[in-house]
């Protein structure tokens, strides 16, 4: 089987929500079956092109292979099988990180605010220190 045929099947399975592990394993097994079928056809006396055609015919249509894989829900990713649960888990997982994301997004504003608070704290601390020193001298 040509590589582009494997690649289109791989992309179709990934777009349909099949777990990448199963997609790679399927492509590997299809390649091995194709090589076995082509080898058997060559051993039977077919020419190279005829053996390739016979192997493609014996392996089956790409859509039929994809339909057979998609008929098995256990091969789908978690988020494809249970999209609502996956969305809720994703939302719950990102909730604690929202303040951090806000801080990252508003870095210049927070830096100015931090500098202003630092200057104000230093100024007030200096004034209170001078007042305390004046009270102790009196």
pLDDT digits (tens, 9 = 90+) for 23-71: 999 999 998 998 899 999 999 888 888 988 888 888 888 889 999 999 9
In this structure, is residue 48 part of a structural domain? Answer: yes
Sign of the four-CA dihedral 45, 46, 48, 52: negative
**Where residue 105 falls among pLDDT bands split at 50, 70, 90?**
confident
Does residue 73 sit within a domain?
yes
More confident of the two residues 102 and 28: 28
Domain that holds residue 32: 3-93
Beta partners for 18? 76
DSSP reduced 3-state for 76: strand
**Are 38 and 77 within one domain?**
yes
Does residue 9 share a domain with residue 42?
Answer: yes
116-125: pLDDT as tens digits: 999 999 999 9
Residue from 34, 32, 30 nearest 52 by CA: 34
Look at the chain and count its residues.
138
Is residue 98 included in any domain, yes or no? no
Residue 99 falls inside a structural domain: no
């Amino acid at each position: 089987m040509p590589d582009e045929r494997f690649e289109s099947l791989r992309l179709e399975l990934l777009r349909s929500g099949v777990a990448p592990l199963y997609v790679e394993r399927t492509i590997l097994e299809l390649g091995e079956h194709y090589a076995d079928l082509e080898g058997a056809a060559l051993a039977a006396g077919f020419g190279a092109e005829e053996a390739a055609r016979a192997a493609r015919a014996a392996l089956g249509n790409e859509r039929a292979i994809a339909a057979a894989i998609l008929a098995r829900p256990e091969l789908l990713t978690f988020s494809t099988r249970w999209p609502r649960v996956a969305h809720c888990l994703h939302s719950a997982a990102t909730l604690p990180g929202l303040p951090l994301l806000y801080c990252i997004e508003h870095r210049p504003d927070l830096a100015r605010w931090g500098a202003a608070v630092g200057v104000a704290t230093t100024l007030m601390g200096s004034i209170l220190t001078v007042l305390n020193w004046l009270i102790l001298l009196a």
